[in-house]
Structure 1
């Protein structure tokens, strides 16, 4: 599995932790170990440019996903074919502000946004209420399971009601 993580911000980002959450989610979703994905952390100004260009919305957003090969989740015993899932772009500045409001750390918010972005790359969406319910329940389950297995995060986060990320992605 090729997971490229780049940090183009002044925020301290634990690249290994973010690579681990992506690997965990892809394994849980039965994605080929030959899949490729890029995760990038950027400043508000370039995020705003992407947000305007692709969503026609002003201001920076928390996370954006750019699917490539339109791979979908596999099933136990039947993984997805190899391919390029796409790119996820996260703005730590926006994530940190959201984390403050939600009452958890910026790192936890960015892990949530990473899971959210991976699910978008796998075809999940939250435009319709039923889609939102399915996606956010899966997102919550994946993140909580990942965090419970990580000694650096275990027990540090309580999530009730279910986690949600920003409005656009």
Structure 2
């Protein structure tokens, strides 16, 4: 699978860690091996522009997802569909603030947001309580298993 991480900010981010997380999530969700994903890190001004344009909401947000080919998780016995999964856009400064408030490292927040964004690209949502429980439990499981299996410490 092809995953690109583009850091358009001055914020220092372990791009390889984001790449590894994205590949892990896509693999666990049985996304086609030839699927494409782009993760772009933007500053607060750029994120605010996207947030207003696409969600009609003020201010920057932490993550936005832009699906392309509406790929869905692979199902046992069926070949997953090849295509472009889409784009996940992260705002590292918003993520860093959230990480401070939650008491963990900024990279851990960005890994969570990467996982969250990919799940949105795969059709998961959290608008309704049942959807939220399903998505957030899956997000938690994916992130915890990724963190447990990786080789690098967070910082």
Shift of 1:75: 2.2
TM-score normalised by the chain length of structure 2: 0.96
Whether the 8 Å CA contact 1:40–1:89 is kept in 2: the answer is: yes
User: What is the distance in 2 between the residues matched to 1:141 and 1:75?
Assistant: 18
In the other structure, the counterpart of 2:113 is 113
Greater CA deviation, 8-17 or 59-68?
Answer: 8-17
Are 1:21 and 2:21 an aligned pair? yes
In structure 2, stretches of 5+ residues that fail to align are none
Count, aligned residues: 154
User: What is the distance in 1 between the residues matched to 2:96 and 2:78?
Assistant: 38
User: What is the distance in 2 between the residues matched to 1:139 and 1:122?
Assistant: 12
Whether the 8 Å CA contact 1:90–1:110 is kept in 2: the answer is: yes
Query: RMSD over aligned Cα, in angstroms?
Result: 1.0
Moved over 4 A (4+): none
User: What is the distance in 2 between the residues matched to 1:82 and 1:66?
Assistant: 17
In structure 1, stretches of 5+ residues that fail to align are 157-169
User: What is the distance in 2 between the residues matched to 1:62 and 1:77?
Assistant: 36
In the other structure, the counterpart of 1:61 is 61
TM-score normalised by the chain length of structure 1: 0.88
In the other structure, the counterpart of 1:166 is none
In the other structure, the counterpart of 1:125 is 125
Shift of 1:77: 4.6
Paired residue secondary structure (1:86): strand
In the other structure, the counterpart of 1:159 is none
